[in-house]
A and B are shown apart, each in its own frame.
Chain A
Amino acid sequence: MTALAQTGYVAGRHLRFFIRQPWFVVMALIQPVIWLLLFGALFKSVAQIPGFTSAATYLDYLVPGVLVMTALFGCGWSGMSIIEDIDRSIVDRFLTTPIHRSAIIVGLNVYELVALLIQAVIIGGLAWLLGAKFEGGILGYGALTVCAMLVGATVAAFSDAMALILRQRESVIGINTMLTMPLTFLSAAFMPLALVPDWIATAARFNPVNWAVEAGREALTASPDWSMIVPRVVALAVLAILTTAWATRTFRAYQKGI
């Protein structure tokens, strides 16, 4: 119970910071919109390639990719907040109080996920205005958002852990670029796997980003196959829990080095 309350306090602290930086808010809102418009225009003719069989419109096809990519890129920066708190001795202050270690990590990641949720609403709304059909309705879009948030939680926890272990901005930036780009493009985010080389299709099967994209995309169809969606969501949830638990443990590694 106290851990839960403490998580809320930590999340509140980060959310307050977010709201007080108008520039931050604007950036967080604009970035996925740019991706949606840019990729929408860039890949429009993909839908004409023989073998492209899915989704009502290319926009319907694209939205899960853009949302999951937003989760990856947004939450991947989570570790930067940890680094800033390390530099300001705020992490050390927390560690000398009876706060649950998990509350520090989960509180930060709850904030990341709230920001992601807002982005999901904006992406969905804009895509709908641009003509996406979303045959799966609100439920389908909700399932897609859950998939994206689970990816976000995993990446955020991973980023936090890296920050606590390596304690350098550069390491978080490096991990971000090294990881997010391949994970995004080794998936069906922007191109059906039927149209990509075999090795990419094979890699995609083990890529959690792809699980999220495919499950989210399935949920958006007129009659989703839930037996395909549920196992992927469960796998993503397990991954999110494991990385969060691991990130919580990295405080030990951090404390060894100080």
Chain B
Amino acid sequence: MQRDHTGVIEAEGLVKTYPGGVTALDGISLSVRGGTIFALLGPNGAGKSTTVKVLTTLSRPDSGTAVVAGHDVLRNPDRVRRSIGVVAQKAAVDPSATGRENLRLQGRIHGMAGRRLESRIAELLEQFGLPDAADRIVQGWSGGMQRKLDVAMGLVHRPSVLFLDEPSTGLDPEARATLWAEISRLAADEGLTIFLTTHYLDEADRLASRLAIVDRGRIVAEGAPEALKAELRGDAINVVVGSADAGPDAARVLERIEGLGAPTLDGTLVSARADHAATTVPAVLSALDAAGVAVAAITVARPSLDDVYLRHTGRAFRAAALEVNA
């Protein structure tokens, strides 16, 4: 399979404001190389889906440009549409049709027909482990199976770029693991460029060779997961204090401790990075004890994408997700 290592997706300064004044995209720029998996990571409402909608020609940006598979999304949307497969956040399958009929309609829309289409359908059903269910009405399928069909529908016409908007949301762990394996395989064996969005840190960490963290319509960090984690010097020391009132006191205490980075506060959780966690933890504990701050728990963690997120947005990932959902 041919691979193109220049930017298969290039977006520059995408801005999108919805009627009502909600700014979904506030200047998104990104670049995705051919044959790689790129993850856009962020909480619900951060602008992930809107980015996908713009890149897949569904939505027009107010300003900015985007080129996908060599075609401008605004000037040549139909060319883009021929080159991409799109798997939306919600399984876009026709529940009253069978799996095979769903795939057939999708293929026909892309101008496929006859034996070529039928053999492609059989191949995809096999690949996604659906041959037994193929001729049953989709209505009765499990969520995981519908999701697989959904992804298969995005692949019928052999696109060069596949967009997956939160592919594993709502899937049980087993279905998620199968899907992850399939996504990795598509990029590795078939040279597909995959652009996925997720609000699962582990998903981005596991699948993507590069990722961007999006928060409130802006990209706050971009790079390889390992590089982003390496940027965070040392380990994280996470202190959970007895009450939220004690949080600011604890943060002030930690600020003064040598060998410890600037602390961040999130409710009862105070976190800071340490060059040498083993020697710093006792100092933290005794300083807090001296200041009269009750400690409920203290943990040391290797850098994770949670920490990357926290550092770049100033909020813990879970908190951001809750805030948006509230």
Interface residues of A (CB under 8 A from B): 2, 5-6, 9, 13, 16-17, 20-21, 88-90, 92-99, 255-258
Is the C-beta of B105 less than 8 angstroms from some C-beta in chain A?
yes
Q: Is B33's CB within 8 Å of the partner chain A?
A: no
**In whole Å, how far is B304's beta carbon from the nearest beta carbon of chain A?**
32
Task: Tell me if A93 and B110 are in contact (CB < 8 A).
Answer: no
Are B90 and A89 within 8 A (Cβ)?
Answer: yes
Closest 7 A/B residue pairs (Cβ): A89-B92, A93-B92, A96-B86, A17-B96, A98-B81, A89-B88, A89-B90
**Which residues of A have CB within 8 Å of B127?**
none
Q: Measured between C-beta atoms, what is the minimum distance from A97 to chain B in Å?
A: 5
Q: A92-B88, A96-B81 are known; give 14 further A-B pairs, CB within 8 A.
A: A9-B109, A13-B101, A16-B96, A88-B90, A88-B93, A89-B89, A89-B92, A90-B92, A92-B58, A96-B56, A96-B57, A97-B109, A97-B110, A256-B60
Verify A2–B111 contact, CB threshold 8 A: yes
Assuming A9-B108, A89-B90, A98-B78, is B57 touching A20 (CB within 8 A)? no
A111 to chain B, nearest CB (A): 13
Say if the beta carbon of B176 comes within 8 Å of chain A: no
B53 contacts partner chain A, Cβ-Cβ < 8 Å: yes
Task: Give the CA-CA distance A98 to B109 in the complex, in Å.
Answer: 7
Chain A residues lying within 8 Å of B137, measured Cβ to Cβ, are 20
**Considering only CB atoms, which chain A residue lies closest to B95 in the complex?**
A88
A94 surroundings in chain B (CB, below 8 A) = 109
Q: Which residues of B contact A2 (CB under 8 A)?
A: 111
Closest partner residue, chain B, to A93 (CB atom): B92
Q: Is the CB of B57 within 8 A of A257?
A: no
**Residues of chain B lying within 8 A (CB to CB) of residue A92:** 58, 88, 92
Q: Bound complex: CA of A225 vs CA of B92, how far in Å? A: 51
Chain A residues, Cβ within 8 Å of B109: 6, 9, 94, 97-99
- Within the complex, the shortest CB–CB distance from A152 to chain B, in Å, comes to 22
Q: Quick one: closest B residue to A13, CB to CB? A: B105
Tell me whether A93 and B111 are in contact (CB under 8 A).
no
Interface string of B133-150 (1 = CB under 8 A from A): 000010000000000000
How many B residues touch A, CB cutoff 8 Å? 32
Contact call A20/B82, Cβ cutoff below 8 A? no
A96 to B90, CA, bound (A): 14
Interface membership of B281, Cβ < 8 A: no
Q: How far is the CB of A82 from chain B (nearest CB, A)?
A: 14
A227 to B58, CA, bound (A): 48
Indicate whether A20 sits within 8 Å of B81 (C-beta atoms), given known contacts A5-B108, A96-B56. no
Within B79-125, the residues touching A (CB, 8 Å) are: 81-82, 84, 86, 88-97, 101, 105-106, 108-111
Q: Which residue of B lies closest to A16 (CB)?
A: B97
Within the complex, the shortest CB–CB distance from A133 to chain B, in Å, comes to 42
Q: Name the B residues within 8 Å of A95 (CB-CB).
A: 57-58
Identity of the chain B residue whose Cβ is nearest the Cβ of A18 in the assembled complex: B96
Q: How far, in whole Å, are A95 and B54 apart by their CA atoms in the complex?
A: 12
List A contacts of B110 (CB < 8 A).
97-98
Near A by CB (< 8 A), chain B positions 229-282 give none
User: Across the interface, which residues of A come within 8 angstroms of B173, CB to CB?
Assistant: none
A88 touches B94 (CB 8 A): yes
Q: B296: shortest Cβ distance to chain A, in Å?
A: 44
On whether A89 and B101 interact (CB within 8 A), knowing A9-B108, A98-B110, A255-B58, the answer reads no
Closest chain B CB from A66 CB (angstroms): 30
Which residue on chain B has the smallest CB distance to residue A252?
Answer: B60
Instruction: List A contacts of B21 (CB < 8 A).
Output: none
Does B59 count as interface, using CB distance less than 8 angstroms? yes
Interface pair B53/A258, CB less than 8 Å apart: yes
**Chain B stretch 162-210: residues in CB contact (< 8 A) with chain A:** none
Bound form: Cα–Cα A258–B137 in Å:
29
Interchain CB contact under 8 A, A96 and B96: no
Residues of A within 8 A of B90 (CB): 88-89
Chain A residues with Cβ under 8 A from B81's Cβ?
96-98
Q: How far is the CA of A47 from the CA of B76 in the complex (A)?
A: 62
CB pair A17–B97 under 8 Å, yes or no, is yes
What is the CA–CA distance of A17 and B101 in the complex, to the nearest angstrom? 11
A9 to B93, CA, bound (A): 15
Query: Complex formed: what's the CA distance from A215 to B249 in Å?
Result: 86
Q: A90-B92, A255-B58, A258-B59 are in contact. Are A96 and B84 (CB under 8 A)?
A: yes
Determine whether the beta carbon of B58 is less than 8 Å from that of A96.
Answer: yes
Of B57, B58, B109, most A-chain CB atoms within 10 Å: B109
Whole-angstrom distance between the alpha carbons of A256 and B59 in the complex?
A: 7
Considering the complex, give the chain B residue whose CB is closest to the CB of A21. B96
Cα A150 to Cα B110 with chains together (Å): 30
17 contacts across the A-B interface (CB closer than 8 A): A2-B111, A5-B108, A6-B109, A9-B105, A13-B94, A13-B105, A16-B97, A20-B96, A88-B93, A90-B92, A90-B94, A93-B86, A96-B58, A98-B81, A98-B109, A257-B19, A258-B59
Q: Closest CB-CB distance, B42 to chain A, in whole Å?
A: 19
What separation, in Å, do the CA atoms of A62 and B94 have in the docked complex?
A: 40
CA distance A253 to B146 in the complex (A): 30
Q: Which residue of B lies closest to A87 (CB)?
A: B90
Closest B residue, CB atoms, query A5:
B108
Pairwise interchain contact A98-B95, C-beta atoms closer than 8 A: no
* Chain B residue contacts of A256, Cβ below 8 A: 19, 60
Residue of A nearest to B18 (CB): A257
Shortest distance between the CB of A84 and any CB in chain B (Å): 10
